[in-house]
Amino acid sequence: MAFKLPPLPYKEDALEPHISANTMGFHYGKHHQTYVDKLNDLVKGTEFEKQALEEIIKATAGKADKLGIFNNAAQTWNHTFFWNSMAPKGGGKPKGSLKDKIEKDLGGLDKFKESFTQAALTQFGSGWAWLVVDPSGALKVGKSSNADLPIVHNHVPLLTCDVWEHAYYLDYQNRRPDFVAAFLEKLVNWDFAQKNLDEALKAIAA
């Protein structure tokens, strides 16, 4: 069973003008596809060939001799999660239990946006900014380098923003702050974060 590039949850031009169809064409159609293709090449004929993506990620994390498999598996996972972290009519405010939790754990929506922006802008080089649930059930904001991701650090991700240059360079050039602001104000999918929060808290309570 080879891994397949999952369909985008919206059309390539659906996030315009904040993310262009041109960027999506390269980022989803070329970069994400290449991670999937390289992963398939690397796992062919190995013990990983029949494993689920998350199993491969957890089995190869931190192993120097499996770095290529980890990087391509994690980037395959991260990009699918990133596409779902955005929506064509995204932005606005979280509601319900997510809103309450952001107030309680992170000091409110404005403070969350400040922390998330800080994480995204201080990630030197390639990486990701995250909103996660930690093992105690508390929300945290963080960042990771290259392909690294919360699920190998015992955190459950709710949202992510890709801050590799390929995510924004065609539309924003070097202006990562403008891209991150567009993500938070116009694109972020709070319904996806709420669904992930509900599942994370249910798993912690079980």
Pick between residue 13 and residue 169 the one whose CB is nearest to Mn ion: 169
- Sheet containing strand 127-133, edge to edge, reads 139-145, 127-133, 156-162
Cβ closest to Mn ion, residue 98 vs residue 129: 129
Q: Using the 8-state DSSP alphabet, how is residue 140 labeled?
A: E
CB-nearest residue to Mn ion: 162
The distance of closest approach from Cβ of residue 9 to Mn ion in the complex, given in angstroms and rounded to an integer, is: 16
Give the shortest CB-75-to-Mn ion separation in angstroms: 7
In the complex, the smallest distance separating the C-beta of residue 106 from Mn ion, rounded to whole angstroms, is 25
Amino acid at 9: P
Q: Cβ neighbours of residue 199 under 8 Å, at least 6 residues apart? A: 156
Footprint on this chain of Mn ion (rule: CB under 5 A): 162, 164, 167
Cβ of residue 52: shortest distance to Mn ion, in angstroms? 22
Instruction: Kindly calculate the radius of gyration of the chain based on its CA atoms and give it in whole angstroms.
Output: 17
- What's the rounded Cα separation, in Å, for the pair 158 and 114? 17
Using the minimum distance from each CB to Mn ion, give the nearer residue, 76 or 194: 76
Return the number of the residue (72 or 194) whose C-beta is nearest Mn ion: 72
d(CA 206, CA 38): 37
